[in-house]
Amino acid sequence: AQKVTQAQTEISVVEKEDVTLDCVYETRDTTYYLFWYKQPPSGELVFLIRRNSFDEQNEISGRYSWNFQKSTSSFNFTITASQVVDSAVYFCALTSPGGSSNTGKLIFGQGTTLQVKP
């Protein structure tokens, strides 16, 4: 069975601090995809990144960066120089292409609530 664990329920930082959100996943599939979504206070889920299991290169997008390590089954998300607008719930998610283990389920972690204080 697939599983995503976001051990940090809530994180509070002061603006301009760097913050890392942890994500640990479990899967028996060799091909899989990992995602991060952001849910701001307005409620909608916003896509941030999609990464396949064969690409372990770290990715940077502005103040956001992601560290994918298959050896530790982790896909951590770092926000550099956090801002108040980064306050949201962040979800890590996992899926695999169609087959015996998947018919379309995107498995979400429980989410990490990030509060950035001014």
Would you tell me which residues interact with another protein (CB under 8 A)?
Answer: 33, 35, 37, 42-47, 50, 91, 95-98, 102-106, 108-111
Nearer to another protein, 79 or 111 (CB): 111
Nearest approach, Cβ of residue 56 and another protein (Å): 17
Nearest approach, Cβ of residue 102 and another protein (Å): 6
- The three-state secondary structure class of 70 is helix
Please choose, from the candidates 47, 88, 94, 48, the residue with its C-alpha nearest in 3D space to the C-alpha of residue 70: 94
Nearer to another protein, 44 or 118 (CB): 44
- State the virtual CA torsion across 60, 57, 71, 81 in degrees, nearest 10: -10
